[in-house]
Chain A
């Protein structure tokens, strides 16, 4: 149980284009999902918290207009990186929390984004 998938697993895009990453909870309904960014050999940095049916809450320093998050259903959240630049290249990981759980988060396998 508690499986989270991400798609795509890796993506290469040109500078100035936008790319969408999907995060799905496969066997549970996730009222809350989280998006993280991980730089090489570093820890996870929380970008935003996404609640189904409401606007995402962004962490300080994260540009909400650049990283658009939509949590349209209880099993799907999307992160769109708009007008991507090489500095946006990173490993993006989503997680989801079960509504009946005790704060543990279940993580997707991550998406490697490379902007050329």
Chain B
């Protein structure tokens, strides 16, 4: 069965510091992987996606993610966090249907 694990429920980083949000997945075939961001009371915005090819993918807002098949991971990174990045981040896997992780709430301290 498909599943996504985001082991960190909350993460707090200082503004300007680097960020890595972890995502591990279980999927029976070649996965399609996504990262979404959700601000309070809002829908989800697609940050980036991986389907095939280069395992390092670039997204919007300065985010990137690296697909590591051997580790079944698709971690999200950003070299320098801004206060406006505070939100909840969801990793998702799937094709016709998406399975979402539980989300990681990012807090940014000034």
A binds B: yes
Whether B95 and A44, one on each chain, are in contact in the complex, defined by CB atoms closer than 8 angstroms, is: no
Q: Residue A102 contacts which of B49, B101, B102 (CB distance < 8 angstroms)?
A: B49
> A110–B102 contact, CB under 8 A?
no
Flag if A42 contacts B43 (CB, 8 Å): no
Can you name the residue of chain B whose Cβ is closest to the Cβ of A59? B97
A42-B102, A104-B49 given; A4·B41 CB < 8 A: no
Which residue of A44, A103, A112 contacts B100 across the interface (Cβ within 8 Å)?
A44
- Which residue of B is nearest A110, CB measured? B43
Instruction: Return chain B residues, CB-CB under 8 Å to A110.
Output: 41-43
Task: Assess whether B27 is interfacial by the CB under 8 Å rule.
Answer: no
Residue on B nearest A109 in the bound complex, by CB: B43
* B contact residues, total (Cβ < 8 Å): 21
Give per-residue flags for B85-103: 1 if the beta carbon is below 8 A from chain A beta carbons, else 0: 0000010001111101111
Chain A 86-116, CB-CB to B under 8 Å as 1, else 0, gives: 0000000101000000111111111010000
A103→B94 contact, CB < 8 A: yes
Instruction: Please name the residue on chain B nearest to A101 by beta carbon.
Output: B49
One digit per residue, 1 when the CB lies within 8 angstroms of any chain B CB and 0 when it does not, for chain A 55-84 equals 000000000000000000000000000000
Provide the residues of chain B in CB contact with A109, threshold 8 Å: 42-43
Size class of the A contact interface (CB-based, 8 Å):
20 to 34
Most chain A beta-carbon neighbours within 10 Å: one of B46, B51, B98, B101: B98
A43 CB to nearest chain B CB (Å): 5
**Most chain A beta-carbon contacts within 10 A, residue among B32, B34, B51, B96:** B96
Residue B11 is within 8 A (CB to CB) of chain A in the complex: no
Chain B interface residues (CB < 8 Å from chain A) = 32, 34, 36, 41-46, 49, 51, 90, 94-98, 100-103
Residues of A participating in the B interface, judged by any CB pair closer than 8 Å: 4, 6, 34, 42-44, 46, 49, 93, 95, 102-110, 112
Task: Add 5 more A-B contacts to A42-B103, A112-B41 (CB < 8 A).
Answer: A46-B98, A102-B32, A102-B51, A104-B49, A108-B43
The 10 closest A-B pairs by CB, nearest first: A107-B43, A107-B44, A109-B43, A43-B100, A43-B102, A110-B43, A44-B100, A103-B32, A108-B43, A103-B95
